[in-house]
């Protein structure tokens, strides 16, 4: 059965051989597996990651074509789905021990020949950790970076290298640019995960990956909830798919445990389909069967697996979700701390906005001043298409709050962006960038504003 399964995977890849961007998710969908489940299965059977398996099938076919001398090395490289003949030659040499151009010289006596109809030449061996960390093999970093390109084409310049001169991609640079594309609550977690301290397999690294995954799913839940609240706030708007679910949703939003996240995502999927207009239309495609299957598989994780395999499969789940969130590169996360009315004697009033950009890689949030004809929400964290379009934004407060200029009554707190963590006995608790630290922000001057906004949001849900 295992052999038939591997051959079935191989056949799916061969059917899509010329598709250069045939992905790990595409192959997982073919066999109705989550990405992490397929990774776990292939690791046990072959010792290869999914992308390595896809690459090796392409190389095996290339070997056959080169031996038959049907075309040049460059032509065959493109026929089997490699976008670069130089990269193809590099991969071929790694697997077979010699460059593709030497195959003809070696004839049929070479010991590296793959017998016909044998499937892949696979040795069962322990595969080194496929780390997200750029100091590792960089495979997942590059995969995540490339998923951002459709939403931020300017990133493509970081892929321009001269392969003929022996240049290779700098995965640390790709990691840095990828982090910048995500809002602070996610970017700071990725920055920590990509650091040298998490390069090796450890329980600490696993817990950090787990924290990043949970924080990412909570952030997604808040994006969806903000969209649903905008819809419910419209006059006469209803959501049939959520009827009778209001109290359960409120309880889930207050606890935010793993099973609650699954319930929220499953409930919000049909609700978003009902919304006629979304500020983030990409959310509908984000919440697809592939993502829900991945979440389900993550929640049913096996406790008997080794630490190494748990790290690897968790990375697969996290990478899939981050790739599907690539659309966030199109948006700006900002806090408008102050709006001043400017009015001259013979001029119409305008509004000077003090923007604080919350997509920084470090805590030095950039400040920008913009004079506009209309005003946006202040003292709130907003997701915007453009800071010049004050009428188009998604208000994420109180689920996401910025402590800038929110002085505490006793002492002060450092600048940070906090994500709602849980609600206990009517009090809001937030999670900032500090590792494993839950903050009580009730002394903040803005806390009453956040609490009222949360209570009103839950009132909308309870009415469903």
Q: What is the pLDDT of residues 398-427, one digit of tens each?
A: 999 988 765 444 444 567 889 999 999 999
End-to-end CA distance of the chain: 48
pLDDT > 60? residue 137: no
Distances (CA, A) of 413 to 86, 164, 358, 441, 447: 53, 52, 17, 9, 13
Average pLDDT, the chain: 84
pLDDT tens for residues 293-329? 999 988 887 667 888 888 888 989 999 999 999 999 9
Q: Which domains does the chain have, with CATH numbers?
A: 2-116 (1.10.10.60), 332-462 (no CATH)
The position carrying tokens 């903050």 is 439
The band of 123, judged by pLDDT with boundaries at 50, 70 and 90, is very low
Q: Which residue has the higher pLDDT, 197 or 226?
A: 226
For the whole model, what pTM was predicted?
0.84
Q: Which residue has the higher pLDDT, 225 or 66?
A: 225
Could you give the 3-state DSSP secondary structure of residue 138?
coil
Could you give the 3-state DSSP secondary structure of residue 283?
helix
The band of 248, judged by pLDDT with boundaries at 50, 70 and 90, is very high
* Angle, CA of 406, 409 and 414, to the nearest 5°: 45
The band of 120, judged by pLDDT with boundaries at 50, 70 and 90, is very low
Q: What is the pLDDT of residue 166?
A: 67
Mean pLDDT: which of 61-70, 99-108, 273-282 is highest?
273-282
Candidates 280, 376, 363, 372; CA nearest to 335 is 376
What length is written for the chain?
464
pLDDT > 50? residue 125: no
Contact between 183 and 359 under an 8 Å Cβ cutoff? The reply is: yes
Q: What is the pLDDT of residue 263?
A: 95
Q: What is the pLDDT of residue 413?
A: 52
pLDDT tens for residues 433-464? 876 788 889 988 889 999 999 999 999 999 98
What is the phi/psi pair of residue 305, to 5°? -75, 155
Q: What is the pLDDT of residue 141?
A: 86
Q: What is the pLDDT of residue 234?
A: 82
Q: What is the pLDDT of residue 280?
A: 96
């Amino acid at each position: 059965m295992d052999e038939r399964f591997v051959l079935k995977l191989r056949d799916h890849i061969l059917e899509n051989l010329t598709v250069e961007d045939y992905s790990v998710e595409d192959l997982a969908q073919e066999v109705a597996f989550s990405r992490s489940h397929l990774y776990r299965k292939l690791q046990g059977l072959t010792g290869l990651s999914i992308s390595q398996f896809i690459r090796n099938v392409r190389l095996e076919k290339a070997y056959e074509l080169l031996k038959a001398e049907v075309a040049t090395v460059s032509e065959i490289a493109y026929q089997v789905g490699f976008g670069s003949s130089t990269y193809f030659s590099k991969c071929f040499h790694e697997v077979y021990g010699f460059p593709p151009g030497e195959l003809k010289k070696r004839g049929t006596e070479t010991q590296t020949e793959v017998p016909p109809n044998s499937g892949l030449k696979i040795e069962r061996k322990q595969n080194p950790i496929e780390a997200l960390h750029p100091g590792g093999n960089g495979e997942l970093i590059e995969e995540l970076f490339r998923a951002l390109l459709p939403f931020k084409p300017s990133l493509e310049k970081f892929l321009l290298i001269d392969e003929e001169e022996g240049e290779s991609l700098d995965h640390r640079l790709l990691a840095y640019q990828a982090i910048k594309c995500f809002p602070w609550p996610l970017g700071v977690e990725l920055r920590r995960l990509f650091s040298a301290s998490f390069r090796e397999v450890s329980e600490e690294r696993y817990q950090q990956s787990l924290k990043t995954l949970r924080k990412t799913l909570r952030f997604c839940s808040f994006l969806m909830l903000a969209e649903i609240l905008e819809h419910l706030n419209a006059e006469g708007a209803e959501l049939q798919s959520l009827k009778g679910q209001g109290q359960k949703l409120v309880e889930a939003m207050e606890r935010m445990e793993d099973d609650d996240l699954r319930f929220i995502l499953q409930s919000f999927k049909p609700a978003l389909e009902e919304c006629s207009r979304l500020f983030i239309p990409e959310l509908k495609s984000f919440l697809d069967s592939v993502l829900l299957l991945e979440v389900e598989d993550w929640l049913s994780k096996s406790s008997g697996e080794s630490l190494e395999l748990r790290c690897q499969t968790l990375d697969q789940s996290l990478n899939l979700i981050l790739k599907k969130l690539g659309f966030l590169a199109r948006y700006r996360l900002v806090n408008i701390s102050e709006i001043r009315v400017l009015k001259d004697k013979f001029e119409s009033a305008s509004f000077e906005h003090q923007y604080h950009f919350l997509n920084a890689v470090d805590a030095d949030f950039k400040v920008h001043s913009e004079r506009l004809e209309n005003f946006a929400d202040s003292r709130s964290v907003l997701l915007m298409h453009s800071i010049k379009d004050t009428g188009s934004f998604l208000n994420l407060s109180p689920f996401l709050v910025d402590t800038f200029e929110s002085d505490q009554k006793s002492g002060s707190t450092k600048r940070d962006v906090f994500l709602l963590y849980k609600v206990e006995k009517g009090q809001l608790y937030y999670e900032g960038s500090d590792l494993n630290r839950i903050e009580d922000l009730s002394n903040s001057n803005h806390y009453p504003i956040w609490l009222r906004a949360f209570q009103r949001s839950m009132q909308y849900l309870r009415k469903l």
